[in-house]
Amino acid sequence: MELQSLKYIAKQLMAGNKGLLAMDESTNTCNKRFKALNIPQTEEYRRKYRDLIVNTPKLEEAISGAILFDETIRQSTSDGKLFVEILKEKGIIPGIKVDESARDMDGFPGEKITEGLDGLQERLAEYYKMGARFAKWRAVITIGENTPTSGSIKANAFLLARYAIICQEAGIVPIVEPEVLMDGDHSLQTCAEVTNEVLHTVFNQLYQQRVNFEGMILKPNMIVPGIKAAQQDSADVVADATINCFLRCVPAAVPGIAFLSGGQSPELASERLNAMHVRFRDKMPWALTFSYSRAVQQPALEKWGGKDENIEEAQKLLYERAYINTVARDGKYTPELEKHPVA
């Protein structure tokens, strides 16, 4: 393990007020989003959309790393230039999603387990040669009447830890993503209790599997009420619950935390990130940033709609959304920024 290299990459990913762009949607997920907007669900249209993203002007001013999907890391512009090369020229570090998605967990009704350890060393070696310097693995934790169980939490935490140490041995920084889903009508307090247990379990497994905390990044959920909950707490309440939990659960040696958006609206994701920096800036031992997918991309995707004539306007929206989150990371976001994001 080249620890100094891992630490350097992790530091670069967390640098300044930049964030990570999660453009690692699976083919199925990407096609679902295209279908909802009447965009043809073909490889060529997926390539066109990713071309739009990586060639967005000034993207590197707001984004330090981009998480790619297997299809994406192999794709090129219409004139044959690899997306990875474009990202590298912009100073954006390429990353790669390496899990093979969550499936129903045998013996645990209503819960999921993530697959993908088989052949991971070989895949990571190939991705490293292609330019990837960090990776991502997502575990899914569902809050329900009888879930999550300790069995599913421990199983997912073990797999996250094995993935992480395999990445580090391959010279790749692991992004560890244990996502407590916001689906349902549970309270913020319930989300806090579950997230607390999940993070304690994950870091215990990471320690036992000899993962170096200084060479990894955590990608967690914010502590929020379920999307169907009657009470939707304020950004300040979400900030307090989230950071107080992390201060108890996340070792100070971890260089950075990059939030997933998890289905939050773009505005809410920015407002809540901002509140955390306003209220806890001097109390956090780790860098805190964003690693959003829909909360950055959705406005641009809707504007593009699969039409070449809309590319420029879509790229402008993509950059604006990413820029707004850099302002939120600086603790200077206001709702007024939504009307006039970039001078």
Q: Give me the active site residues, please.
A: 177, 219
Helices (H) and strands (E) counted in the chain, each on its own, are: 12, 10
User: In 3D, which of 128, 49, 135, 125 has the Cα closest to residue 100?
Assistant: 135
Q: Which two three-digit tokens encode residue 182?
A: 């916001």
Other CB atoms within 10 Å distance of the CB of residue 191: 27
Would you say 148 and 125 are in contact if contact means Cβ atoms under 8 Å apart? Answer: no
Give the integer Cα–Cα distance in Å for 132 and 173: 9
95 in helix, strand or coil? strand
Would you say 239 and 280 are in contact if contact means Cβ atoms under 8 Å apart? Answer: yes
Amino acid identity of residue 285, one-letter, is: P
Give the integer Cα–Cα distance in Å for 67 and 134: 8
Q: Which letter does DSSP use for residue 76 in this model?
A: B
Q: Which two three-digit tokens encode residue 40?
A: 């043809």
177 in helix, strand or coil? strand
Relative orientation angle of helices 294-304 and 266-280, to the nearest 10 degrees: 150
